[in-house]
Amino acid sequence: MYDQITVMAKELYEKSVALRRDLHRHPETGWLEMRTSAVIAGILTNLGYEVLTGRQVVDDRARMGLPSEEARREHTKLVRESWDTPLTYLTEEMEAGYTGVIGILRCGQGPVCALRFDIDALGVLEDENACHRPAREDFASRCSGVMHACGHDGHTAIGLGVAEVLMNLREHLHGTVKLIFQPAEEGVRGARAIVSKGHLDDVDYFVGTHLAPLDGPDDGAVTPATYGSLATTKYDVIYRGAPAHAGGFPEKGRNALLAAACAAMGLAAIPRHSEGASRVNVGTLHAGTGRNVIPDYAKMEIELRGETTEINEYMAENARRVCEAAAAMYGCTCEMICMGAADSHHSDLTLADRAAAVIERELPDIRVSSVRCARNWGSEDISLMMNRVQSHGGQAICMRNITAMEAPQHTADFDFDEKVLEEGIRVFSAIAYDLLRDEPLHG
């Protein structure tokens, strides 16, 4: 059966490349993945999956970091009027910002296996130079200032290839497959809404991945597990004061800019934690209307991170204390709006060893890294899904699929070797088949 998986993945390669490039041309940021969701829903529906979209996928109360209504309306217009969008599968709820898709394949009694693929892009202006392959080969972004600069277009293409392979293997599977196409991973905003909806509550096995560069610490094509992504909380901090003439009646003003600036300095003074790494960053500060007006409004965008969920909470508690004290000092009010959050994560080594054994035994041309569980110093809200599965006794891993990259992720000239699409389809399909096959093999 694994030989058939390899054959099917190779046959899907050109289709997967074309799909990845189509998604790359039409990048969409978190909660605006309207066209992307429609494309995914259409492919899964035509394959025969039970397809969930819109409010079936996400809990509205748990969505964070939503775009403005103006941004949502503008993007809806772009999708409908300027892009070749498959409108058959574009729903009103997608256009309202309820993005993301789940495909379910039920194959009788057996365990539930969830595979997760993130789908959103970044606010990056793509390089238009001819030395950048997407520009040279005409699949660069057609949405100015938005780009798939992290490989999520590749993740989505891998997931849809896996969907086709597993549908072809359904008579040999026992259990349920859930393919989770998650919105708004950037800024760690989307996973919580899917977890809150209950989609991970019955999952026995959970597998996710991220593309990673060849020049990293991994020495193979696949690292079967990662651990330790930094827990994080991201806030918009809004200060409101009172305007006044800066020269004539300064005592009547309440300077929101100074309150925010005081907070920015105070945040940098939070003591580091003795039990692990901690981070704080003030990314933006916008305030004021003119040099002769006391600023009555200021907005900061900040983030906290911690090596563990507990350390991150320590940082968040101190950040709230600092921000509120700065507001009181300048007679202003302070509102802290959570725009994204994720926990730390760990992969289950039992499942990682099983995945590694399947790859080594059945896909011997795909080399498994000698380090079976590698450190991840970024932040990833896949942690929320993994932790929910593990909380009721399930097993979860977050892998790395290693590939050559034109430039680092989150940069304007990012691109990757598309051979990883075929490898990714084979790896996910082989692991899922091993978990749900008639007579599972271990080790």
Q: Are residues 250 and 190 located together in one domain of the fold?
A: no
The Cα–Cα gap between 246 and 263 comes to: 22
Which pLDDT score, from 0 to 100, does residue 249 have?
95
Question: What is the tens place of the pLDDT at every residue in 258-288?
Answer: 999 999 999 999 999 999 999 999 999 999 9
Q: How many domains does the chain have?
A: 2
| Domain assignment present for 443 | no
Q: Would you say the pTM of this structure is higher than 0.75? A: yes
In contact, 307 and 344? CB cutoff 8 Å: yes
- What values do phi and psi take at 341, rounded to 5? -160, 145
Q: Are residues 145 and 191 located together in one domain of the fold?
A: yes
Which pLDDT score, from 0 to 100, does residue 84 have?
86
Question: What is the tens place of the pLDDT at every residue in 13-67?
Answer: 999 999 999 999 999 999 999 999 999 999 999 999 999 999 999 999 999 999 9
10 Å CB burial of residue 194 (0-12, 13-18, 19+) is: buried
Percent of the chain with pLDDT over 70: 99
| Domain assignment present for 102 | yes
Q: Are residues 89 and 204 located together in one domain of the fold?
A: yes
Geometric angle at alpha carbon 235, from 232 and 239, rounded to 5°: 155
Mean pLDDT of 360-380: 94
Q: Are residues 244 and 379 located together in one domain of the fold?
A: no
Tell which wins on pLDDT, 87 or 143. Answer: 143
310 marked as part of a ligand binding site: no
Q: Are residues 27 and 106 located together in one domain of the fold?
A: yes
Last residue of a domain, one of 340, 373, 391: 340
State both tokens at 270.
Answer: 């939070």
152 marked as part of a ligand binding site: yes
The strand pairing partners of 373, in sequence order, are 225
Q: What is the DSSP string of 1-56?
A: -HHHHHHHHHHHHHHHHHHHHHHHHS---TT--HHHHHHHHHHHHHHT-EEEEGGG
- The one-letter amino acid code at 304 reads L
DSSP 214: T
Q: Are residues 34 and 177 located together in one domain of the fold?
A: yes
Q: Does the pLDDT of residue 75 top 80, yes or no?
A: yes
- What values do phi and psi take at 13, rounded to 5? -60, -50
| Domain assignment present for 99 | yes
Q: Are residues 200 and 101 located together in one domain of the fold?
A: yes
The domain spanning residue 300 has which CATH number?
3.30.70.360
The Cα–Cα gap between 28 and 35 comes to: 8
- The helix-helix angle for 152-168 and 419-436 (nearest 10°) equals 40
Which pLDDT score, from 0 to 100, does residue 443 have?
41
Task: Provide the 10 A C-beta neighbour count for residue 375.
Answer: 10
| Domain assignment present for 112 | yes
Who contacts 158 (Cβ-Cβ below 8 Å, separation ≥6)? 16, 117, 209, 401, 421, 424, 425, 428
Last residue of a domain, one of 316, 340, 364: 340
| Domain assignment present for 383 | yes
Q: Are residues 392 and 252 located together in one domain of the fold?
A: no
Which pLDDT score, from 0 to 100, does residue 439 have?
57
| Domain assignment present for 416 | yes
Q: Are residues 276 and 422 located together in one domain of the fold?
A: no
26 marked as part of a ligand binding site: no
pLDDT band, very low/low/confident/very high, at 86 (cuts 50, 70, 90): confident
Last residue of a domain, one of 317, 340, 363: 340
Q: Are residues 157 and 244 located together in one domain of the fold?
A: no
pLDDT averaged over the chain?
A: 96
| Domain assignment present for 442 | no
346 marked as part of a ligand binding site: no
Question: What is the tens place of the pLDDT at every residue in 216-231?
Answer: 778 899 999 999 999 9
Q: Which domain holds residue 182?
A: 2-229+345-436
Q: What share of the chain is helix, strand, coil (3-state, %, to 5)?
A: 40, 25, 35
Q: Are residues 97 and 202 located together in one domain of the fold?
A: yes
Who contacts 315 (Cβ-Cβ below 8 Å, separation ≥6)? 233, 270, 273, 278, 279, 280, 304, 305, 306
Question: What is the tens place of the pLDDT at every residue in 154-193?
Answer: 999 999 999 999 999 999 999 999 999 999 999 999 999 9
pLDDT band, very low/low/confident/very high, at 85 (cuts 50, 70, 90): confident
Q: Are residues 300 and 357 located together in one domain of the fold?
A: no
The Cα–Cα gap between 280 and 259 comes to: 18
The domain spanning residue 156 has which CATH number?
3.40.630.10
| Domain assignment present for 441 | no
172 marked as part of a ligand binding site: no
pLDDT band, very low/low/confident/very high, at 438 (cuts 50, 70, 90): low
